[in-house]
Structure 1
Amino acid sequence: MKTHKNILRSAGATLGAGALAWLAIGGGSSPAPGEVSPSAMVAVADEGPGYAIEDFGYPNADRILAERGITLKRGDGHITLADCASATDLLEVWSRANDKICFRVTGTTGYLTLEIPSVFVIKGNSYTTQVDMTTGTEEKTFEVTKNTWTPVGESADEQGRDFMLMEIRTSR
């Protein structure tokens, strides 16, 4: 007889706990004051995470500008600032304002928009490279010879004007 009573008590306790859980989860008609309704929780969960939007902005550009005076804007990640002693086959950009600045190139194509003032020569690497430069309102594109020094900016200008490097494009 005691076994029968224990089974009934257990069943009653289980049913009571189930009923309380049902009421707490949403079986009740409305939440108590200060509680959030389960339907509100479901709506938030159904929204999912936000979207990551790539703007192709150069990582740590503010720090690089502060430390090196180079404005790196946007690119596809295939042309990146490099330590000139870190590898061979780097693009070397020479500027009167910043001395030597090196870039590592990867992939089959690449682009990087930037601002480096007073660029006068670029040493090419194994990629076909074009650079866009400006002086005042005039824009010029220079082809950089593979694996050799190419005069650009003031070195290639009859008037010796100061040029700013604005974009690098590469391809294999």
Structure 2
Amino acid sequence: MKARTTLLRTVGAALAAGALAWAAITGGAVGAGSGTGADAMKAVAEEGPGYAIEDYGYPNADKILAERNITLKRGDGHILLADCDSATDLMEVWSREKEKICFKVSGTRGYLALEIPSVFAVKGNNYSAEVDMTVGTEEKSFDVNKNSWTPVGESADEQGRDFMLMEIRTVK
């Protein structure tokens, strides 16, 4: 008997909550042509936010491009642009045009597509890293040494050509 009473109270509470929610959505009135009731529910459903689709676009990329002239395209959220004075274990990218640019790396793996021109060195952190760069139509990859400087781009090129950093990949 006690279980039945508890069940009835639970069902009653659920019905009351549903009725309150319905009244809140419809404005408390259900009338034909009043813009409430089923018509209002249909309008709300049609104006809903739609689907959230993750495109892995870098957050605030337009603002960063405008303020710092750094093109950040997309990534998995494990390699993020950072203030170089914000932490000690940052990956540093050195560019003739941008000077020092720092990235905070987290997680077990990281990926970031970006564009930084005239990159000549990368200082690794506690992660194994690889950077992909281009010069003209040629693409080159460089392994970045953990916790030390790695010459990349023009400093690793016999001809001293100007390389663009295109991707960073990290593994813990």
Question: Would the TM-score normalized by the shorter structure come out above 0.5?
Answer: yes
Larger radius of gyration: 1
CA distance in 2 between counterparts of 1:165 and 1:98 reads: 12
Aligned pairs for 1:41-120 (under 5 A) are 41-45=40-44, 49-120=49-120
For residue 37 of structure 2, what is the aligned residue in structure 1? Answer: 38
C-alpha separation between the residues in 1 aligned to 2:86 and 2:41?
52
- Residue 41 of structure 1: SS of its match in structure 2? helix
Deviations 1:135-161 (A, max 9, x none): 000001110010110000001111110
Aligned length: 143
CA-to-partner distance for each residue in 1:77-98, whole Å, 9 max, x for gaps? 1101111111111101000000
Query: Could you say if the C-alpha distance between residues 44 and 144 of structure 1 is closer, same or farther in structure 2, counting changes exceeding 3 Å?
Result: same
Q: Distance in 2 between matches of 1:86 and 1:37?
A: 53
Question: Deviation of residue 64 (structure 1)?
Answer: 1.3
Deviation at 1:40, TM superposition (A): 1.9
CA distance in 2 between counterparts of 1:131 and 1:70 reads 16
Q: Which runs of 5+ in 2 are unaligned?
A: 1-28
Residue aligned with 1:25, SS:
coil
Q: What amino acid is aligned across from residue 30 of structure 2 in structure 1? A: I
1:25 to 30, 35, 48: 30
- The sequence identity of aligned pairs, in percent, is 71
Secondary structure of 1:51's aligned partner: coil
Greater CA drift, 54-63 or 137-146:
54-63
Q: Report the Cα offset of residue 36 of structure 1.
A: 2.8
Name the amino acid aligned to 1:137: T
User: Residues of 1 paired with 2:169 and 2:146: CA distance?
Assistant: 13
User: Aligned-residue CA RMSD in angstroms?
Assistant: 1.6
Shift of 1:37: 6.3
Amino acid across the alignment from 2:120 = F
Partner of 2:170: 170
Separation in 2, partners of 1:166, 1:110: 14
Unaligned runs of 5+ in 1: 1-23
